Structures are given as C-alpha cells and as structure tokens.
Amino acid sequence: MKPATFDYVVPRTVAEAVGALGDTERTAQVIAGGQSLILEMHLERVQPELVVDINRIPELDGMSVEGDELRVGALVRHAAFESPDAVPGPLGTLLAQAVVNIAHPPIRSRGTMVGSYGWAHPASEWCAVGTALDATVELAGPEGVRSVAAGDYFLGPFLTARRPQELITAVRLPLLGENTGASFIEHRRTHFCFAQAAVGTTLTVDDGVISDVRIGLVNSADRPVRARAAEHALRGAELGSLPSGPRVPDDHPFARAGRIAAEQDAAPLPEPFADVDYKRRIIAVLVARTLREAAKDQRARRAAREGDQR
Ligand SMILES: Cc1cc2nc3c(=O)[nH]c(=O)nc-3n(C[C@H](O)[C@H](O)[C@H](O)COP(=O)(O)OP(=O)(O)OC[C@H]3O[C@@H](n4cnc5c(N)ncnc54)[C@H](O)[C@@H]3O)c2cc1C
C-alpha cells in the first residue's frame, strides 16, 4: 500500500523541530532512520499529516561519555554499537552483544537507538537494556528539556511518556564499572524475526559477593521489564563456582533466579508461535545463561587486569 499523503519538513535545529511538532493543527511523526515508521505508514497503521525529518540536525548526532554516563544522540545508528570497543568497558560488550540481534545490517545502518525508544516495541532489545540499567530519556519540548527514567518512560506497547510536541534528543546510559560482567542472549524463530524473548544481564562482583545485578527482559510483557525480584534474590549472595556444562543445573542460584524472573517479573503475552508457558520457559533459561555468561565475563576481565599488573 502507498502511505496517505503528508506534509514533510526538514528542520536544522532542535528548536525548529520542536516548533514543527508543536503544530497542533496536524498530527506529526518524527522520522529518524525510518525503519519502523515507513513500514507502518505503508501499512496505514500510522497516518501522520506532517513528517518531521530530524536527519539534518547536527546537534542530534554523535555519542559521548559525560561523567559516568554514555550519551547517545538521536541520530546514532544501531550499527555504531557493533564493535565492543565503540563504548568503554562492559557496557560496550553488552551493547555489542545486543545489537547484532536487531534485524540485519541494512536496517542497522539506518535505524537508531533513540528511534527504538520512540517506537517502544515490547521486543526492542535497546528498550529492555535501557530499562535494566536505569537509562534516562532526554525530551525537548516547548517548555524546555526534561529527563525521564526509562522505568517511567515505557507505558505499554508503542506507548510512552513522550508528549506529542516533544522530541527525544538523546538516551543516557550509565557506564559499567570494572568489576562488572555483561551478557545478552536472544531466542527467536528465524534470524530476521523479532525476539520471542531475550535477556540482557550485568553482574557486579566485589570480594566474591554479588554487589549488583541488572536483568532486562525483552518481549516478556507489554513493555520492557527489569526483573527486580530475580535481582533481589541474587544481590548480596556469594558468587561461588560457575556451572561448567552448557546447562545451568536446576539447583544453581542462577537457575532459581531464572525461574523467579519467569514467574514473578515477566508477564508474557501469547504469540502465534510462543504461548505464555513456552515464553516463561525460555525466559528462565535465558536469565540463568546470561547470569553465567556475565559472571564469566566479569572473571575474565579481572584476570586480564591482574595479568596487566604483573
Ligand atoms: C525487517 C525488520 C526487522 C526489525 N527487527 C528489529 C528487531 O529485531 N529489534 C528491534 O528493536 N527493532 C527491529 N526493527 C525496527 C528497527 O530497529 C528500527 O530501526 C527501530 O525500531 C526504530 O528506529 P528508527 O530510527 O528507524 O525510527 P523511525 O522508524 O524513524 O521512527 C520510529 C518511531 O519513533 C519515533 N521517533 C524516532 N525518533 C524520534 C525522536 N528522536 N523523538 C521522538 N520520536 C522519535 C517516530 O516518530 C516513529 O513513531 C526491525 C525493523 C524491520 C523493518
């Protein structure tokens, strides 16, 4: 199908873009990478009267480390995160492991992390990672700039706290310290499908004790989920020995945390090829595996540091 007709503007500054979005006479949509919006317009599920193209606004491009945060501008493409060295420390590992699950290279070269926050698909890898890490969403509107925590930003499928006149200028993610390991694992039917479920995990270990753990669940509810009950079960526990085989034994604390995440934190919705019970089983397995991989990553980083000091 062809999209319905619409007006099109190309602002050069954030202020001009916010001015265009503030036009109350017409329903407006921002276009960044266009990898979700154009499809939705062709399917006539979204019919904006005005499309605001932000691709000519230099101040929205680029990512930078600011204090202990990574600030990702609204024009940074998914592909920018494919190398684990693009972002310092374990956060770079987590983002690089997550991004390869997003569609395929042509889409990753156009689509943006911030666009994923604009779209708010429950199966978005970026939205779950940001929710687990307490990311902050920067919104510029007619009254100025405000920041919203990711946990308050996602309100449901394709539903967010963004007001129609607001432009997302950036997403800010906390950098992860050197005692942290990270892992992201996804399960889906074919390589190009959205996730049936996926999990991003970070694990911080101080003197053998799990001092912090973050678990983000993808497509495990009507919005991104931070698995707080599972995190609570692990925080303060001794890390101990790690399971060596491919399977995490049922009586290992990581497997128990997986079951807690699946039963208490997740609220999965059924899909044609994955009913609720199946999804809960996947979530339990993926949580346990990402915890094991994050712990391995944390130990490998520590060993590398100690090797450097010799
Ligand atoms: C075949 C296919 C497979 C895909 N697989 C995946 C997948 O596995 N995982 C995944 O997460 N995504 C997937 N996507 C979606 C893709 O990642 C998109 O790139 C992403 O959802 C949105 O980024 P975008 O920059 O293209 O946004 P656009 O399509 O330009 O915009 C999407 C929405 O966000 C709004 N928006 C964008 N930027 C802003 C902003 N700065 N301020 C306010 N609103 C804004 C737009 O108005 C629009 O409503 C897939 C897409 C396709 C076509």
Tens-place pLDDT, residues 145-162: 999 999 999 999 999 999
pLDDT digits (tens, 9 = 90+) for 251-310: 999 999 999 999 999 999 999 999 999 999 999 999 999 999 999 999 999 999 888 776
Four-point Cα dihedral 301, 174, 239, 242, nearest 10: -60
Q: Percent of the chain, pLDDT > 90?
A: 92
pLDDT digits (tens, 9 = 90+) for 221-253: 999 999 999 999 999 999 988 988 889 999 999
Rounded to the nearest angstrom, the distance between the alpha carbon of 95 and the centre of ligand 1 is 17
DSSP assignment letter at 259:
H
Note whether 141 and 147 are within 8 A (CB).
Answer: no
Q: Please enumerate in sequence order all residues whose Cβ is within 8 A of that of 39, keeping only pairs 6 or more positions apart, or say none.
A: none
Residues in contact with ligand 1 (CB, 6 Å cut-off): 29-37, 39, 54, 74, 101-103, 107, 111-112, 114-116, 118-119, 121, 124-125, 167-168, 192, 194
Whether 69 has a pLDDT exceeding 90, the answer reads: yes
Q: Please enumerate in sequence order all residues whose Cβ is within 8 A of that of 144, keeping only pairs 6 or more positions apart, or say none.
A: none
- In whole numbers, what is the pLDDT of the chain averaged over residues? 96
List, in order of start, the domains of the chain with CATH numbers. 7-53 (3.30.43.10), 60-174 (3.30.465.10), 180-309 (3.30.390.50)
| Bridge partners for 225 per DSSP | 217
> What average pLDDT does this structure show over 63-69?
97
- Whole-model pTM? 0.97
DSSP assignment letter at 83:
S
Structure tokens at 210: 């799990």
Note whether 81 and 99 are within 8 A (CB).
Answer: yes
Rounded to the nearest angstrom, the distance between the alpha carbon of 209 and the centre of ligand 1 is 39
Ligand 1, atom nearest to 168 Cα:
42
Please report the pLDDT score of residue 310 as a whole number: 65
